[in-house]
Structure 1
Amino acid sequence: MTHQALIIDCDPGVDDAVALMLAFGSRDLDLLAVTTVGGNVPLVKTTRNARMLRQIAGREDVPVHAGAERPLRRKPAGAGAFHGEEGLGSLEPFAPAKGVADGHGVDAIIAAVMARAPGTVALAVLGPMTNLALALRREPMIAKRLGPVAVMGGARSEGGNITPSAEFNIWADPEAADEVMRSGCALTLFGLDATHQVRATDARIAAIAAVGTPQAETAAAMMRFSQAVERRIVGPDAAPVHDVCPVAWLMQPALFELKPCRIAVETVSELTRGHTAVEFREASAGSLPHRWAARADAEAVFALIATSVG
C-alpha cells in the first residue's frame, strides 16, 4: 500500500494538537516532518508543544523543525484566549526528551519536496502561511513539485473568527497567504465554512476519550478545553476542531465536498485585513485554480480520529 508522504506545518494550538494526534496515529500517512511557526502562541511555545505532542504519541521518529518566528511584514499576533497561555489548553507543559531537529523549517520543507518525485509530498498548513511563503521565495520550483497543499484558513459564508470577515490564520499573515495563493501550488482551503461543521460535541469527545490511550486522552482534553472556551466567549454551540480537516481530507478525501474557485486575500485595508474573496464563477475569475471545502462529514471525521488515536 502506498502511503501519502506529508509535512505538517503548524502552530500548536489545541486544534493543531488534535490534528497532530490524528496524523501521528495514521496508517495512511508517511509523516516526513513537522515544521512550526509563530501563530496561536509564539514560536518557542509552538515548537515545544509539537515536541510534547510527538512524545505523547510515541513518534520521536518524526523530526520537528522550528520555522518562522514572525509574519512577513506584520507584528506577531496570538490567540492565547482560545488556546491557553501555553497553547495546549490545560495540559501542563513539560520539557520533551527529544530536541528540535537541525535546520530551519523552511529549509526542511524545501529539502523534502526537492528530494522526492514531483507531486508526491503533500503539505498540511495548519497555521499562518509564513513558512510556505518563505519556502516559495527561496525555491520557486516547489510550487510545481509539491503534491496537494491542504490549508486550514479562510472564511466566506460563515464570516470570520478574528474579525467580522477574516479567519485567524489568514489574518495573522495576510501577505504570506496572498503570495501562496498566487504561487501556482495545488491549494485546497478548509475555511470556516467547512470547519464549523466539524464540532466537538460532548458525545464525540466522550467517544474519543473512551479509546483510553494517551493520544486519545490528550485529544479529548484539547477538545474539552475548546468546548469550555467556546461556550464562554462565543456561545452554546460545540467548539469546531478546525485543524483536523486538512489532515482528515488527505487521509480520506471523500469526507469533504470541494468546489473549484479562485481565492484572493485582502492585504491593504485594515478593516478587512485577511478577508478571503472566494469566487466560484469562472466567467468572473478567468480560471479556478484553487479548491474550497464546502461540506464535511463530521461524524466520519470524528470516527477517523478515534480510530487513529487507538
Structure 2
Amino acid sequence: MPKQVKLIIDTDPGIDDAMAIFYAAAAPEIELLGLTTIFGNVTTQMATRNALRLLEWLGHENVPVAQGLSQPRELPPFPPTAIVHGEEGFGDIPAAEPRGAKIKETAPEFLARMARELKGELVICPIGPLTNIAAALDLDPEFAKNVGRIVLMGGSLEEGGNITPHAEANIYHDPHAAECVFASGANITMVGLDVTHRILCTASYFDAMEAAAPRLGALINKMSRFYLHFYTTVGKHDGCSLHDPAAIIACTHPELFTPRAVPVAVSCNPETSGATLLASDARPSTDVLMTVDAIAVKRQFLSVMSNLD
C-alpha cells in the first residue's frame, strides 16, 4: 500500500462533514491525525460535540479534537445553517453528549504544532470557514511553509455561489480569513462548486450504503434524508452534492480531478463578499479543481463507506 496521507480535517459537522469524516476514518490510504472545529453548519461548541460523537460512533476516540474560533475574523457571527443540516447538525438525529473531551490546545495551536512536527507531510483539509487556518498563519509565520498541502472545500471560479449569487458558503462565512489563506503562499488545492455540483447522490445511493454497512451506513443514510429534502426545497430533485467528501477524496485521488493553476483572491466588499476571483497581484497560484470524473468519485466514496462496519 502506498504511504498514507497524514490528515487533519477542519470541520463544522454538518451532514456532509459527517460523511467526509466517516470516509477519512475508513479509507486505508488516510491516517486521520485529528479534527479541528469551526462554526458554520453549527456553532463551534456544537461542532466540537459533533466531532467527538462522530469519532465515538467510529470507535476512533483516540483521535484528538481541538476546538477552534467561534466567530469570523472581522464580520459579526452568522447563525448556523439549521435549514440545511438540522438544529443539531445531523438532520433529525438528536444530540447526545459524547464520552470524550476536546484537547487543551486550541485548533490554531494544534494545527501550527502538527504542521511544524510533520513539516512538508501534513495535509489539512478545511471543510468549513477558513478562520482557524488564518489564525494558525497568525500564530506561526512558518505555518504556510510547514504545511504540506491545504485541500479546502470552498469557493468557485466559474460556477457562481450557493449562498449568494457570488459566493460559496464556507468562503462567505469568513471572507477575510479566506483571503488571508489564499494570499499566504501555502500549497493550496481548492475543491469548489465547479466540481462538487457535478457529484450528485440520490436516495438510492445512500440506501446502497446502508445495505453494505448496516450500522454506520444507516446513520449516514438517515442524515442524508434531511439533506436531500433541503435540496428539493430549492428546486434540486436530482440528488445532493457531495461537497465535503469530494475534498477528502481529492487529498488521495487527485487523478479524478483536473486542476487549473490560477492566483485566487477573495472579495471582502459587501456587494460581492466571499466571491473567489482571479487575483490581480503576484501571489502564488492555487490549484482550482475544474472538472471531475463524478462517476469514479461516487464509486470510490461508496466503496470505502461500504467497509465502515
Given the two structures, how large is their TM-score scaled by the length of structure 1? 0.94
What do residues 149-170 of structure 1 show as CA deviations (whole Å, max 9, x unaligned)? 1010002322111111100100
Matches within 5 A, 1:135-214: 135-214=136-215
2-structure distance, mates of 1:189, 1:255: 14
Give the whole-Å Cα distance in 2 for the aligned partners of 1:109 and 1:286: 27
Name the amino acid aligned to 2:287: R
Please point out which of 285, 304, 308 is paired with 2:300.
304
Matched, 1:3 2:11: no
Indicate conservation of the 8 Å contact 2:185/2:284, yes or no: no
Give the percent of matched residue pairs that are identical in Structure 1 and Structure 2.
33
2:258 corresponds to: 257
Aligned to 2:288: 292
Which AA in structure 2 matches 1:110? A
**Contact 1:67–1:106 (Cα < 8 Å) also in 2:** yes
State the partner residue of 1:91. 93
Give the 3 Å change call, closer, same or farther, for CA 285–111 of structure 1 in structure 2.
closer
Instruction: Output one character per residue of 1:27-77: Cα deviation in whole Å (capped at 9) or x when no partner.
Output: 111111100011111111111111111111111121111111111111121
Superposed CA deviations along residues 136-155 of structure 1, whole A, max 9, x for unmatched, are 01102010111111010002
2:246 — aligned with what?
Answer: 245
Change beyond 3 A, Cα 1:23–1:119: same
RMSD, aligned α-carbons: 1.5
Count of residues in Structure 1 that have an aligned counterpart in Structure 2: 304
Match of 1:272, as an amino acid? T
Shift of the alpha carbon at 1:212? 2.2
Amino acid at match of 2:301: I
Distance 2:167 2:112 in 1: 29
CA distance in structure 2 between the aligned counterparts of 1:138 and 1:87, rounded to whole angstroms? 30
Q: Which amino acid aligns with 1:293?
A: L
- Structure 2: how far apart are the matches of 1:305 and 1:38? 25
Q: Which amino acid aligns with 1:297?
A: D
SS in 1 for 2:223: helix
- Residue 271 of structure 2: aligned partner: 271
Query: Hey, what's the Cα distance between the residues in 2 that align with 1:213 and 1:152?
Result: 28
> Retained in 2: the 8 A contact 1:18–1:222?
no
Q: Secondary structure at the match of 1:210?
A: helix
Listed as ranges, the gaps of 5+ residues in structure 1 are: none
Match of 1:125 in 2: 126
What TM-score, normalized by structure 2, do the two folds share? 0.94
Query: What residue in structure 2 maps to residue 32 of structure 1?
Result: 33
